[in-house]
Amino acid sequence: MRMLEDLFDRLRPRFGRRPLGFFKPLFDATNNFFFWPKTPTRVAPYIRDPLDVKRYMSMVIVAMAPALVAGVYLFGLRVLVLVLVSYAVGGAVEVAFACLRKEEINEGFLVTGLVFPLILPPGIPIWIAAMGIALGVIIGKELFGGTGRNLFNAALVGRCIVTLGYPKEMARWIEPASRWPGRLLEYATAPAVDAVTAATPLAAAKNSQFADLGSLFWGNVQGSVGETSAACILAGGLLLVFVRVVNWRTTVSILGSFATLGLLLGAIVPGRFGPVGWHMLAGGLLFGAVFMATDPVTGPTTNTAKVIYGILIGAAVLLIRNLTVYVEGMTFAILLGNIAAPALDEAVIRWRARRLRLEA
Amino acid sequence: MHLRRRGGYNVPLAGRPSAEIEALPEPAALYLPLASRRFRFSEVLAADGEAVEAGWVLARDPGHFGVPLLAPRAGTIRLGAAEGHIVLEALKAPGGARPGEEIADKRRRLLDLGAWQHFEDAHTGALPDPAGEPAGVIVSTVRLEPFGVRGDAILRNNLDAFGRGLEQLQSLLQYQPIYLVMPLLESALAEEVRESLRGHAFLQIVTVPLVYPMDGFGLLARRLGLKTDAEHRVWAVRTEGVLAADRALGASRPVLERVIAIGGPAAKQPRHLRAVAGYPIEAIRSGEAAEGARLIADGVLTGAAVEASARGLDAECTGLVALEEPKPRRQLLGWIRPGWGRQSYSRTFLSALRRTFPEAIPAAMRGEARACISCGQCEEVCPSRLMPHIIHKYLYAGAIDDAERLGVSRCTRCGLCAYVCPSKIELMEEFARAEEQLAEERRHAAEAAAAAGREAAQ
């Protein structure tokens, strides 16, 4: 390992000048990936917490691992191909923009690159997935100035684009494995027919056919790669809340508002709204509430605004799912929340500033 | 009265000084710096080659009410022997510091005998006007930043003097309250302190939780609801200052020695030392700290690194922290290791499953600088209930007025936001600079208003 470190140290000056200088962000990212930087502190405080953005983001990836494993088990090795393609294409876009901007490569793409395949139907053509992540990262993130400045969740922008552009391909669900060892050794493809033969639980629910709760909980239903297994998502969510990488307020308020409003409206207009408990396990609600709405960049930054943001998303999902032609509403709900987030923040900040003035 | 915890965090730094107080060996010469954290002793009164007695005034700071730099020992003055220092050679044995000439004005005596330097303005940390009428006085026996002088170490054998010093303080005031800040814990010493102060009706005891920075003077002054204006500031002083007041006002003797704490992971033997201003830094460095360590004066979170040009302890130093410089070899895949032995404010390391333990934290950033990811840790840890990440974004965009609206001036510079920031943003430094700029703007505005007033009068 000393050899590798020495190699990096020898190469470093070369990336400080032409012709390799253009790739300096890539070199720095690789170097710092392998070897933790040892910059001395310059000003007080002279000691720092060991948490850095790499570790912070890696926690999200660790938390998504159960959902990914469940996806591979249920839908086969094709899922891994999707993940690899997403990382390769999304990473290439990120590196290219970082080099052009002469900025450091941000770890955020490690999360985006994994989230994206997990919210795709497992049978989607690979090229559509590749295009989706590329467009999502470029339009959703890089055009806004990169990680930290984007308004919308890049993975959701990508998904939104391919959903609108390729509705048929976005319905290529794969029948989940039902017996051990699942599809761990299988490269399953969707039936080549375009017809949606077997619907996802949410689509079936529109015809009043409800999958049983056990299947929804463990995940052997049709759906996007990572969203079907409530158990695995909850495990990841608990980890994220424990390590305090996601703010529990967002997740809890989404689920809380969904449940409260669902029960309330269900009581007022009987028959129009699906069973709340069932709905909470079905579709992308949990996955979105745990892994996507909690994205600190595209969500609001103040705690109060986080709660309002969650309530907004939860209510939007409920209304979209039950009152519109769409069977799933999480993508739109979170994007809607993203739009509202800056305004919510501004309102909370103004309120806080006024209180500060009163206190002073 | 008890103040509840709000934000805050105890950094688990190894090397907490023990309560022992030991004397340093007598040095051959003293190097008295002409500048310290707050003071610039530009008015030099001593002459080259002059023989001085202990307690004589060698220089004064005209910018701070003429705060004196006292000769800690009798000896011979050398000017210009070391850049920025007064050197005192041919030292005589300590002791025999004569009582200074009797100065009738108590406050003048406090200043001239070197006790007033222990006082600070609770809000700004600056030296208060000794002739002013304070809005209140905060006396703190608690020191939570790693590592300042521990109140218990000093109080242990000085309870009587402490009580007398408090009485002296009270004699300077008319009716203003004195708040005595005590730790919220049951200990024999705390009980003894309470017992010995039972008769002092002018004291109001305030207990604080032992979480940094609940002992911060700015924070205390605000939470005690002390109203201040330009004339009526809040005086703040720690245990050492009360003892100094007793010495200066009770015995009319100059305050020449101070206790400093030496701690940190690279300290050979973390403890308290009895030291004098000008004590050679080199001697402390080689005797007390590990090879190649970095010395930080006055607390590892808010202090300043001891510069290479500093030859002697300055007159204000309260403690030294010895930190290890980052090792030259970098750790392979350090960011993804389990981290059983690496503690964090967050719980992203396996050490979250253990109890906290003293850790040898190096003087390193431990990560790369990044854009703010709005994780909210700074807001959570902030004892002043600010939103550092949002203030940072305003300052980044150049919107200093918006930063002011969000209370950047209320920042008490505890440094915790910068400590916990995973994006390694220098929040505290940024806020200090913004505050300087705001102060500048206010000064300009005041001058402009005054000029307009004069014009109108003409």
Tell whether A58 and A41 lie within a shared domain.
Answer: no
Tell whether A205 and A305 lie within a shared domain.
Answer: yes
Tell whether B299 and B339 lie within a shared domain.
Answer: no
In a domain, A81, yes or no: yes
**Chain B positions in Cβ-Cβ contact with residue A45 (cut-off 8 Å):** 300-302, 415-416, 418-419, 428
Query: Does the beta-carbon distance from B366 to A36 stay under 8 Å?
Result: yes
Instruction: State the smallest CA–CA distance between residue A284 and chain B in angstroms.
Output: 24
Task: Please give the full DSSP string across B56-92, using - where no structure is assigned.
Answer: -EEEEEGGGTTEEEE-SS-EEEEESSSTTEEEEESPP
Tell whether A262 and A132 lie within a shared domain.
Answer: yes
In a domain, A360, yes or no: no
Query: Which of these ranges, A10-19, A162-171, B20-29, B239-248, has the smallest mean pLDDT?
Result: A10-19
Tell whether A207 and A183 lie within a shared domain.
Answer: yes
* Interface size, chain A vs chain B, as Cβ–Cβ contacts under 8 Å: 205
Among partner residues B335, B361, B424, which is closest to A58 by beta-carbon distance? B335
Query: Does the beta-carbon distance from B348 to A148 stay under 8 Å?
Result: no
Query: Does the beta-carbon distance from A37 to B368 stay under 8 Å?
Result: yes
Question: Range of B391's domain?
Answer: 365-458
Contact B254, B70 (CB under 8 A): yes
Q: What is the pTM of this model?
A: 0.90
Q: What is the per-residue pLDDT for A194?
A: 42
In a domain, B445, yes or no: yes
Q: Does the beta carbon of B424 lie under 8 angstroms from any beta carbon of chain A?
A: yes
Using alpha carbons only, give the angle A252, A256, A259 rounded to the nearest 5 degrees: 145
In a domain, A358, yes or no: no
Contact A308, A125 (CB under 8 A): no
Contact A159, A152 (CB under 8 A): no
Among partner residues A49, A58, A303, which is closest to B336 by beta-carbon distance? A58
Tell whether A259 and A120 lie within a shared domain.
Answer: yes
Q: Does the beta carbon of B302 lie under 8 angstroms from any beta carbon of chain A?
A: yes
CA distances from A60 to A250, A288, B98 (A): 15, 13, 68
Tell me the C-alpha distance between B68 and B55, whole Å.
10
Tell whether B281 and B303 lie within a shared domain.
Answer: yes
List of residues 6+ apart from B167 with CB closer than 8 A: B200
Backbone φ and ψ for B449, nearest 5 degrees, come out as -65, -40
How many domains, in total, are found in chain B?
A: 4
Strands B67-70 and B319-323: unpaired
Question: Which residue from B87, B43, B92, B93 is spatially nearest to B312, judged by alpha carbons?
Answer: B87
How confident is the prediction for chain B on average, in pLDDT? 90
Dihedral angle computed from the Cα positions of residues A277, A278, A282 and A288, in that order, rounded to the nearest 10 degrees? -10
Q: What is the per-residue pLDDT for A296?
A: 86
Instruction: State the smallest CA–CA distance between residue B357 and chain A in angstroms.
Output: 14
Nearest CA in chain B to A52: B422
Tell whether A139 and A17 lie within a shared domain.
Answer: no
Tell me the C-alpha distance between A338 and A156, whole Å.
11
Tell me the C-alpha distance between B148 and B321, whole Å.
9
- The predicted model gives B289-302 an average pLDDT of 93
Query: Does the beta-carbon distance from B373 to A56 stay under 8 Å?
Result: yes
Tell whether A13 and A136 lie within a shared domain.
Answer: no
Contact A246, A111 (CB under 8 A): no
Reply yes or no on whether the pLDDT at B100 is more than 60.
no
Tell whether B401 and B274 lie within a shared domain.
Answer: no
Q: What is the per-residue pLDDT for A190?
A: 59
Interface test with B, best of A7, A47, A58 (most B CBs within 10 A): A47
**Chain A positions in Cβ-Cβ contact with residue B322 (cut-off 8 Å):** none
Query: Does the beta-carbon distance from A50 to B370 stay under 8 Å?
Result: no
CA distances from B249 to A341, B66, B84, B172, B233 (A): 60, 18, 31, 10, 22
Backbone φ and ψ for A359, nearest 5 degrees, come out as -70, -35
In a domain, B64, yes or no: yes
Give the model confidence (pLDDT) of B386-430 as tens digits.
Answer: 999 999 999 999 999 999 988 898 899 999 999 999 999 999 999
Tell whether A44 and A125 lie within a shared domain.
Answer: no
Among partner residues A56, A302, A356, which is closest to B348 by beta-carbon distance? A56
List of residues 6+ apart from B13 with CB closer than 8 A: A47, B146, B147, B263, B264, B265, B300, B321, B358, B359, B361
Query: Does the beta-carbon distance from A45 to B415 stay under 8 Å?
Result: yes
Nearest CA in chain B to A103: B370
Tell me the C-alpha distance between A268 and A265, whole Å.
5
Interface test with A, best of B366, B380, B381, B426 (most A CBs within 10 A): B366
Count CA within 13 A, CB hemisphere, residue B296. Answer: 29
Tell whether A346 and A285 lie within a shared domain.
Answer: yes
Token pair 């011979």: residue:
B76
Q: Does the beta carbon of B387 lie under 8 angstroms from any beta carbon of chain A?
A: yes
Where residue A265 falls among pLDDT bands split at 50, 70, 90? very high
Reply yes or no on whether the pLDDT at B97 is more than 60.
no
Give the model confidence (pLDDT) of B318-328 as tens digits.
Answer: 999 999 998 87
Reply yes or no on whether the pLDDT at B68 is more than 90.
yes
The runs of H, that is alpha helices, within chain A are 2-11, 24-34, 53-75, 78-101, 108-118, 126-140, 154-165, 201-205, 213-218, 230-242, 248-268, 276-281, 285-287, 303-323, 330-359
Token pair 């080199």: residue:
B282
**Chain B positions in Cβ-Cβ contact with residue A43 (cut-off 8 Å):** 426, 428-429
**Chain A positions in Cβ-Cβ contact with residue B321 (cut-off 8 Å):** 46
Give the model confidence (pLDDT) of A22-42 as tens digits.
Answer: 888 888 888 888 888 888 999
Instruction: State the smallest CA–CA distance between residue B356 and chain A in angstroms.
Output: 14
In a domain, B1, yes or no: no
Contact A243, B346 (CB under 8 A): yes
Give the model confidence (pLDDT) of B48-66 as tens digits.
Answer: 999 998 889 999 999 999 9
Tell whether B299 and B373 lie within a shared domain.
Answer: no
Question: Range of A36's domain?
Answer: 1-48
Tell whether B301 and B200 lie within a shared domain.
Answer: no
Spell A116-151 as b/e; 16+ CB within 10 A means b.
Answer: bbbbbbbbbeeebbbbbbbbbbbbbbbebebbbebb
Instruction: State the smallest CA–CA distance between residue A239 and chain B in angstroms.
Output: 10
Q: What is the per-residue pLDDT for B174?
A: 87
Among partner residues B334, B344, B374, which is closest to A49 by beta-carbon distance? B344
Among partner residues A41, A301, A352, which is closest to B364 by beta-carbon distance? A41
Helix axes A53-75, A230-242, angle to 10 degrees: 170
Tell whether A115 and A3 lie within a shared domain.
Answer: no
Q: Does the beta carbon of B374 lie under 8 angstroms from any beta carbon of chain A?
A: yes
Give the model confidence (pLDDT) of A273-299 as tens digits.
Answer: 888 889 899 889 999 999 999 988 899
Contact A140, A152 (CB under 8 A): yes
Q: What is the per-residue pLDDT for A192?
A: 46
Tell whether A42 and A63 lie within a shared domain.
Answer: no
Measured in whole angstroms, the distance separating CA A338 from the mean position of its chain's CA atoms is 13
Instruction: State the smallest CA–CA distance between residue B156 and chain A in angstroms.
Output: 30
In a domain, B271, yes or no: yes
Tell whether B142 and B197 lie within a shared domain.
Answer: yes
**Chain B positions in Cβ-Cβ contact with residue A34 (cut-off 8 Å):** 332-333
Tell whether B315 and B287 lie within a shared domain.
Answer: yes
- ipTM of this predicted structure: 0.91
**Chain B positions in Cβ-Cβ contact with residue A352 (cut-off 8 Å):** 387, 406
Measured in whole angstroms, the distance separating CA A313 from the mean position of its chain's CA atoms is 15
In a domain, B16, yes or no: no
**Chain B positions in Cβ-Cβ contact with residue A97 (cut-off 8 Å):** none
**Chain A positions in Cβ-Cβ contact with residue B365 (cut-off 8 Å):** 37, 39-41, 48
Instruction: State the smallest CA–CA distance between residue B416 and chain A in angstroms.
Output: 8
**Chain B positions in Cβ-Cβ contact with residue A144 (cut-off 8 Å):** none
- The predicted model gives B224-232 an average pLDDT of 85
Residue B76, classified by CB atoms within 10 Å of its CB into exposed (0-12), middle (13-18) or buried (19+), is middle
How many domains, in total, are found in chain A?
A: 2
Give the model confidence (pLDDT) of A120-134 as tens digits.
Answer: 999 899 999 999 999
Where residue A113 falls among pLDDT bands split at 50, 70, 90? very high
Interface test with A, best of B11, B327, B374 (most A CBs within 10 A): B374
* R_g (Cα) of chain B, nearest Å: 23
**Chain A positions in Cβ-Cβ contact with residue B7 (cut-off 8 Å):** none
Query: Does the beta-carbon distance from B407 to A106 stay under 8 Å?
Result: no
Tell whether A235 and A121 lie within a shared domain.
Answer: yes
Reply yes or no on whether the pLDDT at B93 is more than 80.
no
Tell whether B158 and B170 lie within a shared domain.
Answer: yes
Cis peptide before A45 (omega within 30 of 0): yes
Q: Does the beta carbon of B432 lie under 8 angstroms from any beta carbon of chain A?
A: no
